[in-house]
Amino acid sequence: MSFQVIISGIAVGSAYALVALAMVIVYKTSEVLNFAQGEMAMFSAYFAFMLLSVFGWPFWAAFPATLVFAFLLGMGSEFLFLRRAKNPTILGLIIMTLSLEMIIFGLVSWKWGSEPQGLPFPIDSYDTFTLGTLFVSKLEVLTCVTAVVLMFLLFLFFRYTKVGIAVKATQLNNNTARLMGIRTSRILMGTWGLASVVGAVAGLLITPASTLDPYMMWDPLLKGFSAAVLGGMTSLPGAAVGAYIVGIVENVFGSYVSIEFKSVVAFALIVIVLCVKPSGLLARHYVKKV
């Protein structure tokens, strides 16, 4: 098996890991699958494109501004859409995220059109490092490093900060956390903002390797969702591990078996894992008694 294929799979898996982490952050808090996560990341990428190409901002200024926009977009989505629902069910909230996905998709298509654009990025996707017989692009290295750094920061946030502990308390029992004085509505809104920031980073790293268009996050969202289910929808480490498994396996399958069925592998893995371990590879399985 070629190390080149494995390295490329790790790089792709790093991008999937960011999308998977964003979905898990929301799901752990509210048990809602946010299928608008990809469109929110795409919207943030277009916002960065506007700052860079239209207003002429330097990248060092446009990047943090985009993250602030993504955070506000996530909080606004939760506050303006999901929180307005009266007596919502989990299924109803999931349908609302699908509606939000279509709203953002339509808004971006109306504002910027559907023609592919190029995002000005300081690193070209064709710039590579040569390690013997291996070729690794600088963008792949940046994606891997960024994913690892974000995972480490999320670990520190949830483990050692008061807000992170409040998030974990809200995840365990919303009603008890509210009785203990935790403002769970603010926690929920904040986690949507945090997930949107992580997704925006994924969008900004994915765009230079492809094109900027309204459909750009559809495939990464499906692969990120597959990775989250594979590793466990309630486990951040599981989502990351699942993403790397999906990235490596689909790259190996595409290189040695068939490129046409490369995208099928992720969903085949889901079926196999759910048959053996329904909660995912690293998540605990809980049985609710009524």
Provide the residue ranges of all domains of the chain, joining segments of one domain with +: 3-276
Answer for the pair 231, 239: CB distance below 8 angstroms, yes or no. yes
Answer for the pair 89, 97: CB distance below 8 angstroms, yes or no. no
Return the pLDDT at 285.
57
Return the pLDDT at 41.
96
SS3 of 196, please? helix
Beta-carbon count within 10 A of 103 CB: 14
Return the pLDDT at 172.
79
In Å, the largest CA–CA distance within the chain is 61
Closest CA to 84 of 234, 11, 189: 189
Closest CA to 199 of 172, 228, 167: 228
Burial 64-86 (b: 16+ CB within 10 A, else e): eebbebbbebbbebbbebbeeee
> Scanning the structure block, which residue is given the tokens 């459909």?
215
Tens of each residue's pLDDT in the chain, 290 residues: 578 888 888 989 999 999 999 999 999 888 889 999 999 999 999 999 999 998 999 999 999 999 999 999 999 999 998 888 777 788 888 999 999 999 999 999 999 988 888 888 888 777 787 777 778 888 889 999 999 999 999 999 988 898 888 888 888 788 888 888 888 889 999 999 999 999 999 999 999 888 899 999 999 999 999 899 888 888 888 899 999 999 998 888 887 777 777 778 777 878 888 788 877 777 665 555 44
Q: Token digits for 29? A: 């808090």
3-state secondary structure 134-169: EEEEHHHHHHHHHHHHHHHHHHHHHHHCHHHHHHHH
Return the pLDDT at 36.
94
SS3 of 206, please? helix
Return the pLDDT at 287.
52
Angle at alpha carbon of residue 286, lines to 280 and 289, rounded to 5°: 145
Instruction: Could you please state the CATH topology (level 3) that the domain comprising 3-276 is classified under.
Output: ABC transporter involved in vitamin B12 uptake, BtuC (1.10.3470)
Which residues, other chains included, contact 64 with Cβ-Cβ below 8 Å and sequence gap of 6+? Answer: none
Return the pLDDT at 29.
85
Signed CA dihedral, 254, 221, 205, 207: sign only: positive
Q: What is the DSSP letter of 130?
A: E
Is the pTM higher than 0.85?
yes
